[in-house]
Amino acid sequence: MTGTSLDGIDVAICDISNSEGRPKCELLAFDMLDYPAGFADYVRSVICTPNWEDISFLHFALPKLYAEAIRKVADENKIELSKIELIGMHGQTIWHSPVPKTRYGVTTGSTMQLGDGSVLAKLLGIPVVSDFRSGDVALGGQGAPLVPRFDDDFFSDDLHDVVCLNIGGMANITYIPAGKFRDKKTDTGNCRAAVIAFDTGPGNILINTAIKKYFGKEYDEDGAIATSAFVNNNLLNALMQDTYVNAAPPKSTGREYFNEVFLTEKLNMAGGLEVLNPCDIIATLTRFTAESIAFNIRKFAKVPGVLYVSGGGARNKTILQMLHELLPEAEIKLPDELGIPSDAKEAIAFAYLAWLTKNHISGNLPSVTGASADTVLGSISE
């Protein structure tokens, strides 16, 4: 898994099985590996100013890095590559535009994740499932979020409403009403249509962009800068009035919307650097992440009994404290309590989605993405 934060490559090696009609997943190994020096900045530059030479290069370079990462994690954990039956490769999203546009008489949504599955399959001699999002977009869906299928199968609770919140570059939620487990074959009882999931808006992306610009760092460790500064209400109001934040689901977003251009526009609306200092900007962007999450949960889902927080933002103590304040009814936990490490959750989820594909089981939730039908996701390369 490589996400919009561009903070490296997550490798999860899992043993997935089906026991009494309910899937089980044992995490055998996990690691987060850094990109080579300067590589993340290179990817950012390609996203901002793409050209076909760089796009083609990255489409092959990323699988080479993934192959090295998989070999390293397998070797360090004494797992033979020959024992790995299948690889789920998300790839690097460089463009996500699922809302249909019409050009020259053709109307379609689109999404693009770089990383050729055939290259990775040939390098390791292991089948690869990739291009998970295109099938859902082809059926009129957002192509995101896809992790809710995993959330539904592994986090549903008979007694409590649950929200799974992932704070990566973007923030997304899955709302699962209590008593969700039922006969998957006959679809009796509460059905998957009760699940609500969508991107709430930015997670770490704007915070990290500002940290890089003003402090030369990759992120605000533990939310230390944010907690020592003040929230600027003019800037926060400008951010919270954003069209995407207030839009009803299904919805999904990415760097093509929440980026430095977006941030500059909002800063100018609030008076610019003449009235804003960098520390207060970080504090305000951190508050925006927390408030946009809480606002979307209250307006479009329901405050749950349990809120599981994963992703890089789960390590930001200031974001977690703000969520406690904004959602006092919810018990905030890490998925680690269920044996799913927070940092590993998305990588595990795409291993599970690949397992579903291998077994010809649909991986999208049309009630979440807006697709016209359930569908098996991804393309298999051997």
Residue 1 lies inside a defined structural domain of this protein: no
Note the pLDDT tens digit of each residue in 160-175: 899 999 999 999 999 9
Task: Give the count of domains, the chain.
Answer: 2
- Give the CATH number for residue 80: 3.30.420.40
Distance CA 49, CA 281 (A): 26
Note the pLDDT tens digit of each residue in 12-63: 999 999 877 778 999 999 999 999 999 999 999 998 899 999 999 999 999 9
DSSP 218: S
Note the pLDDT tens digit of each residue in 268-326: 999 888 889 999 999 999 999 999 999 999 999 999 999 999 999 999 999 999 999 99
Q: Give the percent of the chain with pLDDT over 70.
A: 97
- Return the C-alpha torsion angle 7, 209, 62, 361, nearest 10: 70
78 with 193, same domain?
A: no
DSSP string for residues in 137-151: HHTT------THHHH
Q: Which pLDDT score, from 0 to 100, does residue 260 have?
A: 93
For the chain, what is the largest distance between any 2 Cα atoms, rounded to a whole number of angstroms?
Answer: 63
Q: Which pLDDT score, from 0 to 100, does residue 123 have?
A: 98
Residue 3 lies inside a defined structural domain of this protein: no
DSSP 204: S
Cα four-point dihedral sign 227, 233, 235, 238: positive
Task: For residue 191, name the pLDDT band (cuts at 50, 70, 90).
Answer: low
190: pLDDT strictly greater than 80: no
Residue 310 lies inside a defined structural domain of this protein: yes
Distance CA 165, CA 151 (A): 10
Task: For residue 187, name the pLDDT band (cuts at 50, 70, 90).
Answer: very low
Judge whether 175 and 301 are in contact, CB under 8 Å. Answer: yes
302 with 171, same domain?
A: yes
Judge whether 145 and 363 are in contact, CB under 8 Å. Answer: no
Note the pLDDT tens digit of each residue in 344-367: 999 999 999 999 999 999 999 998
Task: For residue 183, name the pLDDT band (cuts at 50, 70, 90).
Answer: very low
127 with 156, same domain?
A: no
153 with 288, same domain?
A: yes
Q: What is the H or E stretch that residue 282 is in?
A: helix 278-300
- For residue 219, the enclosing domain spans 148-338
326 with 261, same domain?
A: yes
Residue 2 lies inside a defined structural domain of this protein: no
DSSP 258: S
211 with 327, same domain?
A: yes
320 with 294, same domain?
A: yes
Distance CA 172, CA 318 (A): 18
